[in-house]
Structure 1
Amino acid sequence: MIVPERFNAFRIHQGEDKKINSGFEQITLNDLTDGEVVVKVAYSDINYKDALAATGKGRILRTYPLVGGIDLSGVVVSSVDNRFKAGDKVLVCGAQLSELYDGGYSEFARVKADSVVNLPDGITLRDAMAIGTAGYTAALAIQRMEDNGQIPERGPIVVTGATGGVGSFAINMLSNIGYEVVAFTGKTEQEEYLTALGASRLISRHEIEMGTKPLESMQWGGAIDNVGGETLSWLTRTTNVWGNIASIGLAGGITLDTTVMPFILRGVSLLGINSVEMPLSVREQGWKRLASDLKPTKLDLIAATTIAFSELPDAFLAYVEGTVTGRTVVEIDANL
């Protein structure tokens, strides 16, 4: 496979006025940030972080310009690292793509070898992007909770931000391995979707009474929180003895108003989940589980939307406005 002199990429710039502008450009391989592995990209996806970066609604990029897209899957064109060879099917998720390094919204990508994972058996290139950083983050949260003693017998797991990518995967994965799962959402009209994923019931965030006491009645064996802010504070006060709260998102705010009482009187653990900066061995372990016991059984439901590469610019606003349910796969070259 030969890399053409120029190819199409969706690039993000910051002007002298600090305003963000983004769009398709014809670039060369030399325009890309350094890396040991060149990949012909088959698929990418859209995450909330991608939408913030592309629209300028969030300051995600640390340098400009960069190709957008925090995830990619495709086929190795060339590698100066002997762990990979031409023709290998691979994926990269997170790993500071579209933050420090050029990302997956490109016909070709050049990436760091330590961020590349060989595609596990039983997962296609499209599957990998249907799962993407969202599914990987959910799997990592479950792994961290289990490592800290989480078991189904301790009670239901509540998942906040339930209709988003991470929330959708978390519900499906947890229910598949024997947990009772409760969906916490503002989109109660999505009840059919959430119960199909495996939620036993829904709680409307608009109707919940969160209370103000340092400790409220114990309701949850554990939690996966995609919201932060007031919701995360409430979870610390309502999680059962020795329960784990995996903290992932901050759409509801970055502050945490709580006390030490849930942690020292109930032994609650607050686990921060960072799916970006981690050793390759942890990435590989996570993807092996995503191909086995944590493999989503409702992937077509969660990632029901596929768009062409050319449709990408029009897809970001819905993510920023929070009107998206599930995942969107971006098809760049489906023939690989």
Structure 2
Amino acid sequence: MHFKPIAAGDRVINSPAGSSPRLFLDQNYNDAVAVDMEGAGFVSAAHKAAVPHLLVRGISDWADGTKQTTDGVGTQESAARNAALFLAEVIAQIAPNVPSGPKLPSAPVQPVDELIWHPLDRPVDVSWRKDLFSTGPHTNGPSLLEIHLVPVPSTVRVPAARMRQLASELVDMGRSRGFFTNLERVEVHDSAEMIAVTVTDPRGRSAGLAITRSGQRSAWEPLPNPGLTYVLDEEHTRERITVLLALLESVDGPATPSYAPAATIENTRLVTVERLSEVNPNSAGLRTSDAPIVAEPEEAVTAAVVASHGVQIAEELAARLIYSFRTPRRHR
């Protein structure tokens, strides 16, 4: 039994050493220990449907030009049997999910491939970054882009023991995804209600990931600062929100049916809306207001849609931030 990478493609590999397919695999996917055809399609479908999944494959030949011979002696049947036996053992270890109480009427099923914004009666309560860090150096400094996913409804609390585990997981995820560099010192901040991992350096970079016991997921990073001003470039902001949403969606937190996405930019006095390619680094426009630029969590989307439509959600949030910049609110 091996937990290792599998290369999946659109052809059967049955090529001896030195052949073009083998050279291609060796040069580009030399960490793979096996190849198959069906795995990529299965995993893609399961991911789009937001269904937890496990891929189990039995090895039937060496992919070295001898497939016909090995198939003839029954190795495919043996491989299938081995995979089935392993899967049966996995299933045996999973406790049955026995429902308790009367069965509730099922709600209409929304297609997972359709992005629908569901209006809420009022914006949900969100813990902004200034609420997570009420005092200290984390409340001042550069203009930061914040993204939050607030559970709707917020009915499940993260166990305290799980919160402690999440700290190291957030650090590892941030480094593996390039959100934190390997040279940055990551600080862990924990309390009864929140876990956050952050980096702050003297040059003004401030970034972090956080999860609250209510299941809210948050991420923040600085706006681009090519000179004297911080730039809200709609295209760049859309790209960064897409990245941050993917980070937050991958956090192994409590399951929730829907999220209300929210975004904000604090410390906005030196923020300008402009294309990064057209910014004059030696000039800066001073805003008459330092009010936050906010896209409130006024609508909800399903958790499955967050995973499959991050680009479209990011496009909407970026557009709302631009509108908020033009008509800032006095208080929040």
Instruction: Please state which structure has a larger fraction of its residues in strand.
Output: 1
* TM-score higher than 0.5: no
Q: Which has the larger radius of gyration?
A: 2
TM-score (norm 1): 0.21
TM-score (norm 2): 0.21
